[in-house]
Amino acid sequence: MLVGLMLSVAWADGWTESTKSDGCTFYIGPRQGEFSPVRAVCDWDIPAATLQGVVSKLDAHDDYFSSVARAEKLPDGRYRQVHQASGISDREVILDMGATPIDGGMRYWWKKASDQSALTGSNVEAIVDTGKWEVSDNGRGGSAVVYELMYDPGGSVPGFLVRWFQTSGTQELVKQLYVAAGGH
């Protein structure tokens, strides 16, 4: 029921289904500037607490996600991430990150911090990086997962690479969470 409700909301606000795989339905949202947000809505057999144990380690995302080359907590409580993708220079961003309870689970959110002074200057600064993982109990011992990301990498990025991330790249990233939590 929860997944069905999320799917109807996805359609209602302009999201277009792009594909289905590995227990997930993937969407591309309405264009915002040069880029479109992505969303995945998943129904998995892994307990929500197990997935939350992975996603909640905000400074360890580089252990789970191949697109995150470096994740570290800064002394002021913000986080620095370096993102990598084949064919382009690495991107870097300082993020505000946190967790908020939602009905039956947790929302792990992030957004580009207003203060980017902790950037190293060695990478291209990401212009926009806002998103969330919502992980809740699906009522059958598994989890309902929603992933959303709005990302503008800054600099020059070939159109084919943007399209790849909005489809295959997002599927790969979501599957990496599943595998990190013990899924096969």
pLDDT in tens, 144-183: 999 999 998 998 887 777 777 777 889 999 999 999 999 9
Whether 97 contacts 112, CB under 8 Å? no
Specify if 6 maps to a domain: no
pLDDT at 1: 34
Beta strands in the chain (DSSP E): 16-21, 24-28, 38-44, 68-73, 79-83, 91-102, 105-112, 124-125, 128-137, 143-152
Specify if 110 maps to a domain: yes
Specify if 112 maps to a domain: yes
Specify if 7 maps to a domain: no
Q: What is the CATH number of the domain that holds 125?
A: 3.30.530.20
C-alpha to C-alpha distance for 95 and 86, rounded to whole angstroms = 23
Would you tell me the crossing angle of helices 48-55 and 170-180 to the nearest 10 degrees?
Answer: 110
Average pLDDT, consecutive stretches of 10 residues, N- to C-terminus, the chain (184 residues): 39 82 95 89 97 96 95 97 91 97 97 97 95 97 96 83 77 95 90
pLDDT at 130: 96
In total, how many domains does the chain have? 1
Specify if 111 maps to a domain: yes
The residue range of the domain holding 65 is: 57-179
pLDDT at 138: 97
Distance between alpha carbon 115 and the CA centroid of its chain, in Å? 21
pLDDT at 52: 97
pLDDT at 124: 96
Using left for φ > 0, alpha for ψ between -120 and 50, and beta otherwise, residue 112 falls in beta
pLDDT at 5: 37
Specify if 169 maps to a domain: yes
pLDDT at 98: 97
Specify if 21 maps to a domain: no
Specify if 115 maps to a domain: yes
Residue given tokens 């993982």 in the structure block: 133
Q: Decide: helix, strand or coil at residue 155.
A: coil
